[in-house]
Structure 1
Amino acid sequence: MKKTVFSVAATVALTGAFATSVSAEEYSINKGDTLWSISQKHNVSVNDLKSWNGLNSNIIYPNQTLTVSNDATNSTSPKSSNASTYTVKSGDTLFAISQKFNISVDQLMAWNNLSSTLIYPGDQFKVDGQASVQPKASAPSTTEQPKASAPKETSAPKEASAPKESTKEAVQTNTSNKGTSNDVVKEITASATAYTANCAGCSGVTATGIDLKANPDLKVIAVDPNVIPLGSKVYVEGYGTAIAGDTGGAINGNKIDVYMKDRASALDFGRKTVKVQVLAD
């Protein structure tokens, strides 16, 4: 199946941030590439790739050219000479990282200019800000503290089903619940089946590095990247708002595979014809 991955225990990698000068290098995107796989190939973070190429989302396309190294001194160095950084490992969440360093998720998102709680192995985050940064009032919170009640999220008034999804454990799911308030950039009719990570030989880590066993309530679908770009935010009829974060050998054309956290739910889902909307970030 599509889940031939590994399990890595999360470890802390603290390094003093410093300026480095490198030569610019470009990479032409191939079918099946993701920002995470490109970042691993060139030993950079996903945030660096998005910053160097002016990307506001994780959506990329075959034959698109990306800058994979910076031709000037890393722009973050002047601001972080006294800061510490943390390299994201498989299974990490913003909430878990914030607890390790006794900071809030809001601070972590503000220091690293994050607009989403989705993170990927290889990302490097500042975990010790030099200046006091007020938490973003409109930013979603994935903490389990009383003030971060996910069902009260005010940024998703247009989708009636979103509050029901956000009542589940707030790890990395609440930003996906905002999806249907965005513009629909594409809509298809697809044949949908279901799969689970709880099976013999299944590692539970998707093609984009999402650990489903660590985040069983996350909504993820497997797609054909030629039809729906990996990393897209989507709305699936009868399933809800999700991330196109996986692929599969049998998922070609207008076919999707929706993730269920247990085998019984996957079997009950069966095969359906559903509408799938690709949403703008």
Structure 2
Amino acid sequence: MLPMAMLLAAALTVHAGTSYDYDADDRYGVYAYAYSDTLYGPPDVTKWAPQPKPAPAAPPVLNYQVGNGDTMYQIARDFNISLQTLMDYNDITQPRGLQIGQTLRIPQPDENIGLPPGDAPVVSRVLSSTLTAYTAGIESTGKTAAHPDYGITYSGSRAEEGRTIAVDPKIIPIGATVYIEGIGIRKAEDTGSAIRGSRIDLFMNDVGQAREFGVKKNVKVFVLKEA
């Protein structure tokens, strides 16, 4: 004798709008799964199976090269992380005893700060700088467009907005790449009589924009170690 599910499947006629999983169950008193397997094949339960969660992405990492006078406390503060986080991330049990030239791995709680792609960059110094802006014109350099050195930087390159900054070479070497928080990557190519200490002058083409930029204080600047 055929099972009830098979007899039911043979006897039922498909009508538009009929759901056999439920309508037939109500009308004929059979369990939906009994004839559902017959009519449609076994249900695909894999779509209800719990899916593995992707592993959390590792935080972006910077490398910091310890310089003269650096302390774990200062480095942690510069990168806005706790001292304990810095110690744990570098398997350090005592905060004292750093060596000049030692490299520390710095986890970044936020997304990468905008440093160039590739291997984890090495930061050689973190500064709290005052930012101003300048142009190639007479108001900033004393030179007119007719001057043979108009627009030429201390390094010999032509000043370019979005790349060139003027620095104090005693603090940031000429040719160094820096990341300025809120600004981006810039290249130390120029100097200026008023640029002393950690102050940085950003080159701009338009004098109006340079004046509008004004003075911005306590801006964090990461000096990158050349590869």
Does the pair score TM above 0.5? Answer: no
Structure with higher Rg: it is 2
Task: Give the TM-score taking structure 1 as reference length.
Answer: 0.35
User: What TM-score, normalized to structure 2?
Assistant: 0.42
